[in-house]
Amino acid sequence: MKKKSMKGWLYLLPAMVFLGCFMVYPLIDVLIYSLEEGYNSASQTYYGVGLYNYSYVLRDPYFLQAVRNTFLLVIITVPLSTGIALLISLGLNAIKPLRNLYQTIYFLPYVTNTLAVGLVFMILFKKTAYTDGLVNLMIQWFGGKSVDFIDGPYWAKMFVLCFYTVWVVMPFKILILTSALASVNPEYYSAAKMDATRSWRVFYKITLPMISPMIFYLVITGFIGAFKAYSDAVALFGTDLNAAGMNTIVGYVYDMLYGNSGGYPSFASAAALILFAIVLTITCINLLISKKHVHY
């Protein structure tokens, strides 16, 4: 018996070594950093141990701005992108001709480089000396006043960031949802048809419960992904996100480590752990809600 369990551990060893080196050790390290007050990375010294780093981060206006931005991004983009992806998938599922073409078109953003997409958005939204950007031209054409989406008011910048995020995450969601819809046994729809079920009821009572595990998966990964947003904001607003007022929590962590205000691994660790706590809480809430509404 003992020999057998030794063998088992031996087989697990490679995975455990890797996970230990690259996940468990850094995690513990982050926790330690976050508790060391006044840590100096050059001299590797610190004054004491305590929660000062956390209280500093939680009072830092840049961090609070980043939290606000991140939450807005999450609350707006996750439901919106999932909802629109569901509508598009339902549409794709309903048509026969040109379905493959549309699927390919909808999937294009997924294989396009983030920064290239950022460039396209600049062309669409950025005001330069020569042009106001395509969107502003359209607004003017309809008789509106042009808005500076990249360096202008907060709501305009937030709108562009959300628009961009929704657009970038959409293809993957469409891909998942179209395959989920296609895997629903058509007999259920025949049965519903026999029973004179109205189409919204078919959707609400049959389609939605059948694909609920996939929707749930998308919502969970969507939440986590949106909380970790950073590169999208950089692609749109450049690296100095604090100045633009468009920083995210991950951006704040990065800035604390390497940015202009860099060299503060303790603050960065504290911020990262706060983010971890937030994501964990939200995911737990999601799991609790899903127990009632997701049917496997």
Shortest distance, position 148 Cβ to another protein, whole Å = 49
Subset of 212-231 contacting another protein (CB under 8 A): 212
According to DSSP, the residues that pair with 48 across neighbouring strands are 37
- Please state the closest distance from residue 97 (CB atom) to another protein, in A: 16
Given the complex with another protein, which of 1 and 194 has the nearer CB atom? 194
Q: How many angstroms separate the CA atoms of 282 and 288, rounded?
A: 10
Near another protein in 277-296, by CB under 8 A: 295
Nearer to another protein, 17 or 191 (CB): 191
Q: Site map for another protein, 185-204, x if CB under 8 A?
A: x-xx-xx-xxxxxx--x---
Applying CB under 8 A, the site for another protein has a residue count of: 18
Binding part of the chain for another protein, among 114-122, 167-175, 205-213, 214-222 by CB under 8 A, reads 205-213
Instruction: Determine phi and psi for 132, rounding to 5 degrees.
Output: -90, -5
Residue 7 or 201 having the CB closest to another protein: 201
The answer to whether 97 contacts another protein (rule: CB under 8 A) is no
Q: Is 206 in the site for another protein (CB under 8 A)?
A: yes
Least distance between another protein and beta carbon 99 (Å): 18
Considering beta carbons, is residue 7 or 295 the nearer one to another protein?
295
Q: How far is the CB of 194 from another protein (least distance, A)?
A: 5
Cβ-based neighbours of 230, under 8 Å, separated by 6 or more? 248, 250, 251, 254
Nearer CB in complex with another protein: 58/184? 184
Residue 49 phi, psi (nearest 5): -115, 135
Q: How far is the CB of 295 from another protein (least distance, A)?
A: 4
Q: Which residue of 210, 278, 279, 282 would you call a contact of another protein, by CB under 8 A?
A: 210
- The least CB distance from residue 202 to another protein, in Å, is 10
Binders in 129-188 for another protein, by CB under 8 A: 185, 187-188
* DSSP states along 176-224: HHHHHHHTS-HHHHHHHHHTT--HHHHIIIIIHHHHHHHHHHHHHHHHH
Nearest-angstrom CA–CA distance, 59 and 63: 8
For residue 167, which of 241, 234, 101, 108 has the smallest C-alpha distance?
108
With respect to another protein, which residue has the nearer C-beta, 206 or 224? 206
For another protein, the closer CB: 112 or 183 = 183
SS3 238: coil
**Cα 281 from chain centroid?**
16
The 3-class SS string of 17-42 reads: HHHHHHHHHHHHHHHHHHHEECCECC
Among 109, 152, 209, 245, binds another protein (CB under 8 A): 209
Please report whether residue 15 would count as binding another protein according to CB under 8 A.
no
Within 8 A by CB and 6+ apart from 82, the residues are: 173, 215, 218, 219, 222
Contact 53, 267 (CB under 8 A): yes
User: Distance between CA atoms of 268 and 262, rounded to whole angstroms?
Assistant: 9
Interacting residue ranges for another protein, rule: CB under 8 A: 185, 187-188, 190-191, 193-198, 201, 205-206, 209-210, 212, 295
